[in-house]
């Protein structure tokens, strides 16, 4: 199994956070929790289309 890594920089944010896990779903869960807790204002300002596009990007990165 290959480790999956997600970072805020992958999504254009100036934040040093990243998560690496052998389990893609775990990486997504941790990254999503971080995004909601630390970048809620940015998420709130996104359109639904932007949020959906970012989720699809996240899913493809951990597939």
Mean pLDDT of 45-51: 96
So where are the chain's domains?
4-62
pTM of the prediction? 0.88
- pLDDT tens digit string along 10-26? 999 999 999 999 999 99
Q: Identify the pLDDT of residue 1.
A: 66
CA 15 to chain centre: 12
- Rounded distance between C-alpha atoms, residue 30 and residue 47, angstroms: 22
The candidate with the shortest Cα–Cα distance to 62, out of 28, 18, 34, 16, is: 28
């Amino acid at each position: 199994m290959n480790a999956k890594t997600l970072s805020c920089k992958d999504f254009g944010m100036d934040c040093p956070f990243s998560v690496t896990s052998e389990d893609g779903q775990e990486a997504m869960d941790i990254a999503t929790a971080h995004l909601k807790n630390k970048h809620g204002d940015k998420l709130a300002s996104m359109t639904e289309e932007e949020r959906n596009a970012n989720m699809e990007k996240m899913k493809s990165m951990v597939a």
